[in-house]
Amino acid sequence: MKNKGQWMIASLLATALLCSAWAVQYFVPKKRPFKIPAGWPQPVYDFQKNPLTEEGIALGRTLFYDEILSKDSSLSCGSCHQQFGAFNTFDHPLSHGVEGQVSFRNAPALYNLAWMPSFMWDGGINHLDLQFLAPVTSHQEMGADLNEVLEKLRKNESYRKAFKAAFGDPTINTQRLGKALSQFMLTLVSDNSRYDKVKRGEAQFSLPEQLGEAIFLQKCAVCHQPPLFTDFSFRNTGMTKDLFLQDSGRMRITGLSADSLSFKVPSLRNVTVSYPYGHDGRFFSLMNVFEHYRKNLRSVPQTDPLLKQPLALSNYEIGQLRAFLNTLTDTSFLTNPAFAPPGQAFRHTAPADNHQ
């Protein structure tokens, strides 16, 4: 009798074990390897602490396009970071926030974030996972208090399911929110422009493009270093301080006067579609930027040694530089349906105005 009871318990236990093993198997999120394009440096993002999974990426994408992250449910990350502008704020110098407030900087394009060591124009944010906290908790942007956002998500059945699918249990906390958003943003890799095809030997530069590359390598590449087209440093390019915005750039973070008006070197991939330009969006066109480098820059003691003098650029050279910069447009990135709002096809036309 006693023996039989023990057997019963043992076999019950065994079944339970098998079942839970099966459940574990069943719920393990599907890994997605992160591909490093040939010849690119190692990413700085620590994928071991946040391995990419199909479920995690899908959750991040949903969150990225969900207004639930803002106080008055009027804005999502995607409202300011739009795919057709390489995830910048298309055609708006300063991003519009909750309740019509204007934030004091131009929303940068988002791609190749796995290689970026620090975020924001002044580099003040030191980890991609943290970035979403800036708009969610700043009065100028999404305004919503973080705890309110977490509560809203926790009350939502489909989010509980999605977090469970991505992380194994339905816990929703700040860390997981950040990780999920990062997973989606990390997949925004732009490595398939005409420039990349030429470097892979799949295409050839036209003569103007080739001449443009030579000028670029000579005059721009120290800061806008290929293949990422930035060295991620902070530099003063002789842009004068906007008296209304009073933005001292990197100095806001370090407190050092040597960093006054230094801003992070932006990548130039997809630059033709990511206008306006500059940390405050003061340049409406590439021509404005060229005019800055060759005429308008004001050298101050903090200005980068490479830009102490305006750059010598003839109209002719500008034409060639422009041809080269055009090769950095990555159409497959800009139209990739995997980056569009979930369930929505890519919209080829930018909305005429995105104000409300």
Partner 1 sequence: MKIGHLLALLCCMISGNLLGQTGKTSYEITVHSFFNGRPLQRDSLYLNEWGEALHWNQCRWYFSRIRGVKTNGDTVLLSNQHFLLDGLTGPATVQFTGPSPVGIKSLVIQLGVDPAVNRQGIQTGDLDPAKGMFWTWNTGYVHVKLSGTSAAAATAGERFNYDIGGYQPPHVTQRQLVFPFVADTHQQRTQISLQAEWSKVFDAQHAIRIGQYAVCHQPGALAVLLADNAAQVFGLFVPKSPQP
The footprint of partner 1 (CB under 8 A) covers 17, 20-21, 24, 27, 49-50, 120, 124-130, 133-134, 137-138, 146-147, 150, 168-169, 173-175, 178-179, 252-253, 255
Type and span of the H or E element at 296 = none
Over the window 255 to 294, marking each residue x when it contacts ligand HEC by CB under 6 A and - when it does not, the resulting string is --------x-xx-x--x--x--xxx------x--x---x-
- Residue 340: what are its φ and ψ, rounded to 5°? -75, 165
State how far the Cα of 254 lies from the Cα of 80, in Å rounded to an integer: 27
Q: What is the DSSP letter of 307?
A: G
Shortest Å distance, C-beta 265 to partner 1? 20
Helix (H) / strand (E) containing 308? none
Closest CA to 183 of 196, 165, 157, 199: 165
Which residue's CB is nearer to ligand HEC, number 56 or number 135? 135
Contacting range for ligand HEC; rule: CB under 6 A; set: 32-40, 41-49, 108-116, 335-343 = 108-116
Contacting range for ligand HEC; rule: CB under 6 A; set: 29-37, 79-87, 157-165, 204-212: 79-87
Alpha helix positions (H), the chain: 2-27, 54-64, 77-80, 133-137, 146-154, 157-167, 174-186, 194-199, 207-219, 251-254, 286-291, 315-326, 331-334
What track of x and - describes contact with ligand HEC for positions 2 through 41 (by CB under 6 A)?
----------------------------------------
**Contact predicate 297/239, CB 8 Å:** yes
Q: How far apart are CA 241 and CA 243, in angstroms?
A: 6
Nearer Cβ to partner 1, position 159 or 229? 159
Report yes or no: 130 and 59 within 8 Å, Cβ to Cβ: no
Min dist CB 245 to ligand HEC, Å, is 11
CB burial string 194-230: b at 16+ within 10 A, e below: bbbebbeeeeebeebbebbbebbeebbeebbbbbbbb
Verify binding: residue 229, ligand HEC, rule CB under 6 A.
Answer: no
Is residue 253 part of the contact set for ligand HEC (CB under 6 A)? no
- Minimum Å distance from CB 123 to ligand HEC? 8
CB 248 within 8 A of CB 261: yes
The site for ligand HEC (CB under 6 A) is made up of 69, 75, 77, 79-81, 95-97, 103, 105, 107-108, 110, 113, 119-121, 131-132, 135-136, 141-142, 181, 185, 219-220, 222-224, 235, 237, 239, 263, 265-266, 268, 271, 274, 277-279, 286, 289, 293, 304, 306-307, 311, 321
